[in-house]
Chains A and B, each alone.
Chain A
Amino acid sequence: MADNQEEREGRSRPSRRPQRESSYTRHNRRFCEFCAEGIEHIDYKDIDLISKYVTESGRILGRSRTGTCAKHQRMLTRAVKRARHLAMLPYTAEHARGGGAYT
């Protein structure tokens, strides 16, 4: 990812969508943290790790926000869904409060 970005900026030819990327997105998109750590498998029981990739309301953060690569995002998504099934993570914040139609 980072290499591509440098390459794009190095050329004088304008790239396809530089203006559409806000500084916020670009700042957050760096590299895949799982690749950097050399993680081969994301364990759904590792709540401390997984909860970093979930919002307060319980939604999974997108790749554009975290910089995770496609392969690890798939693993992460699966891990989050398994953890939710086992009530280790909430499906939604409302659900976690015991409200709504799910109780």
Chain B
Amino acid sequence: MRTYELVFIAHPSLEEEGLQGVVDDVKGFVTEAGGNVVDVDHMGRRRLAYAIRNLWEGYYVLVHADLEPSAVAGVEHELNLREDILRYLLIRLDEEE
């Protein structure tokens, strides 16, 4: 198990309730892949530095999760399928801290 850091940008039209649903789904991806969620931090609604799909805002959510390295591809696959996630970054944390 390694610790990974995931930041994703959720669609701005979701509002708070919809966002919570997305966050729960993402947590589900992690747990279904045999990992566990260590921490979730809502960084809030922020303006994007450039437009993604003609949108200028998004909800940033930071997730720390322990995952088996082989399970990462599966989680990324699920994230790629989500239309309400504009962008994500999934990186390994342990080598850097």
Contacts and interface: CB of A to CB of B under 8 A. Distances in A.
B54 interface: yes
Contacts, number: 37
A85 interface: yes
Contact of A82 (B43, B48, B89, B97): B89
Interface in B37-56: 43, 46, 48-52, 54, 56
A65 interface: no
B93 to A, nearest CB: 10
B51 A86 contact: no
Contacts of A85: 87, 89
Given A41-B97, A45-B7, A86-B7, A96 B49 contact: yes
B49 A90 contact: yes
Interface string B62-93: 10000000000000000000000001010100
B17 interface: no
A39 interface: no
Interface residues of B, number: 19
Interface residues of A, number: 16
B19 interface: no
Contact of B51 (A41, A82, A88, A103): A103
B55 to A, nearest CB: 10
Interface of A: 41, 45, 82, 84-91, 95-96, 98, 102-103
Given A90-B50, A98-B56, 12 more contacts: A41-B97, A45-B43, A82-B89, A82-B91, A85-B89, A87-B9, A87-B49, A87-B50, A88-B46, A89-B49, A103-B51, A103-B54
15 contacts: A41-B97, A82-B91, A85-B89, A86-B7, A86-B87, A87-B52, A88-B46, A88-B49, A90-B49, A90-B50, A91-B50, A98-B50, A98-B56, A103-B51, A103-B54
